[in-house]
Structure 1
């Protein structure tokens, strides 16, 4: 049976959510309850409040049940959490080598700007350009870049390796057609969140022309090992261990999970990977594998900045419109992207 909040139109529920986040801190603490501590970390008040509001949505989960239900659930958050930067952003459709894409161009951005090729999250099963529209707009405006958001094929209709194949094809298109996209061919980054971070990492390893920078939000990097953070945060912090199993089972057969296109952590050589900003969330089952990937990059001689947003949860990039710690975290990432692309080396022929 639907919960009361589920019967409220998403646009109305979204306004209610933002009004709660606008309350004074002491009032929000009364609503959220006692602080939550785990693994030496304290959950941010706004994160705790968001999780409470999610629970009021009933038993809806990120994954589980039918694929259609999971996709509908994530699409609802697009309406619940609308948000666009104050600066206008123009968009247009692009056929990126046979892969549908959307190009974001902030108003007034000069021709020849850097470009971010972005892959949305959603466990390779849910999510699309629309669910990550606000993230792409924010990064475009605050990093002063064009963003090409990729609509790669989803499982189970298109199982592995359809998604990484599309990711590589779209990136190759962006490199070849950078001028047509209004971008600088010597300043092209890849980025993504969660499953999209996985795809960006695959492109960083396997693309014929190495990207100039990688922006990875809480990436999935290894299907073959269960790390400690999956036990610590297996339930109650948005992405669950059960969700991860459900996504993996829909995406890639067990016998292929050690392939680099699925688990970039397992590549023999990471030394050619681009300079990277990698953000993890403290209360996230994926935390440890993201941070281990960063350590492997560093050991291979790659310039990498790893940042644990220790009081946040998986998916924080999509919640920036609520302000507070969510916006701070995405703003930091946008700054890293801008620095990496504008101040990075330009030694391409």
Structure 2
């Protein structure tokens, strides 16, 4: 699909979301300096912030030396560790605050959001090291089920930590994750010029993450799809957006997990774009997308796998 098709392919609600988002995130975002990119992204996230459900309480704390935000809504045995998206360059505890609060309330789990250090101030493996440090501290504090989740860059970190500590993770929920797939085929080509994220954007963020140096080869901390061992991974729910260069990473990861004898399901939601979590209150399709995520967290929390026929 070429980018000229999107006007027909995306419904009015999704197009309205894109138009609103574009007011805060200019098309040439990758050309802005980092301070400008972060300011634009923070304004975007603030504009779409939907508030927290009344039942949710939060507080900020350091876990493993990493700033985190905890969300509680009643007593829960399951903790979802959430890593936010933003290309490893933008985002933080506030950018995904309402998403984490709604996951806490709707999926009935404790959520802990991790504010890992960003590039270019910290380059790989700094973000991974922060993600892992927070994971270790949270595991030491809670004895219940531990789930890992995240969107985009955060999905990368969730999977990377899972691969390194698979025996201690009860499940993972990956939302349009960047997993280091083959950029020469699939959605990387078919949706190279998709709204909200392009393949060119991905190349920029990858370069920033690695300090404009070479990407590691065969290092699952950087690219989980490059791991040579997919055995023993926990049940995994992957939810991607059809009109997104990263969609194929979801398919490739599902296939790798299931080929190794594990459980994984991939939902590629039609007519949606990268970042559509933010559209969940103004698009029926995005609301369904978010419901997939909530249902996935709930199923993993309950040690339930309702996806054998999916």
TM-score, normalised via structure 1 length: 0.80
- What displacement does 1:332 show? 1.9
Query: Could you say which residue in structure 2 is the equivalent of 1:239?
Result: 197
For the residue of structure 2 that corresponds to 1:309, the secondary structure is strand
Spell out, residue by residue over 1:115-151, the C-alpha distance to the aligned partner (whole angstroms, 9 max, x if none): 1000000011111111010110111111001100000
Spell out, residue by residue over 1:147-201, the C-alpha distance to the aligned partner (whole angstroms, 9 max, x if none): 00000011110000001111111111111101xxxxxx23110000000000000
CA contact (8 A) 1:219 1:290 kept: yes
2-structure distance, mates of 1:259, 1:222: 10
Query: Could you say which residue in structure 2 is the equivalent of 1:287?
Result: 247
Spell out, residue by residue over 1:86-141, the C-alpha distance to the aligned partner (whole angstroms, 9 max, x if none): 433111112111111010012xx12x431100000001111111101011011111
- What displacement does 1:313 show? 0.5
- What displacement does 1:52 show? 3.0
Query: Could you say which residue in structure 1 is the equivalent of 2:42?
Result: 75
Query: Could you say which residue in structure 1 is the equivalent of 2:308?
Result: none
Q: 2:79 aligned with 1:115, yes or no?
A: yes
2-structure distance, mates of 1:164, 1:35: 35
Q: 2:228 aligned with 1:268, yes or no?
A: yes
- What displacement does 1:44 show? 3.2
Counterpart of 1:65 (choices 7, 32, 39) is 32
For the residue of structure 1 that corresponds to 2:95, the secondary structure is coil
Q: Which has the larger radius of gyration?
A: 1
Query: Could you say which residue in structure 2 is the equivalent of 1:43?
Result: 10
Query: Could you say which residue in structure 1 is the equivalent of 2:59?
Result: 92
Q: 2:188 aligned with 1:230, yes or no?
A: yes
- What displacement does 1:289 show? 1.7
2-structure distance, mates of 1:166, 1:86: 28
2-structure distance, mates of 1:161, 1:264: 13
CA contact (8 A) 2:69 2:112 kept: yes
Query: Could you say which residue in structure 2 is the equivalent of 1:159?
Result: 123
CA contact (8 A) 2:280 2:290 kept: yes
- What displacement does 1:299 show? 0.8
- What displacement does 1:321 show? 2.8
CA contact (8 A) 1:223 1:262 kept: no
2-structure distance, mates of 1:210, 1:61: 41
Q: How does 1:1-349 map to 2 (within 5 A)?
A: 36-37=7-8, 42-55=9-22, 59-106=26-73, 109-110=74-75, 112-178=76-142, 185-207=143-165, 209-222=167-180, 225-252=183-210, 253-344=213-304
For the residue of structure 2 that corresponds to 1:331, the secondary structure is helix
- What displacement does 1:223 show? 6.1
2-structure distance, mates of 1:323, 1:94: 34
The two structures, once aligned, show a CA RMSD in angstroms of 2.0
2-structure distance, mates of 1:102, 1:56: 28
Aligned length: 299
- What displacement does 1:35 show? 7.2
- What displacement does 1:58 show? 7.8
Q: Structure 1 residues 280, 255: CA separation in 2 closer, same or farther (over 3 Å shift)?
A: closer
1-structure distance, mates of 2:191, 2:183: 16
CA contact (8 A) 1:193 1:219 kept: yes
CA contact (8 A) 2:176 2:246 kept: yes
CA contact (8 A) 1:64 1:246 kept: no
CA contact (8 A) 2:166 2:233 kept: no
2-structure distance, mates of 1:324, 1:316: 11
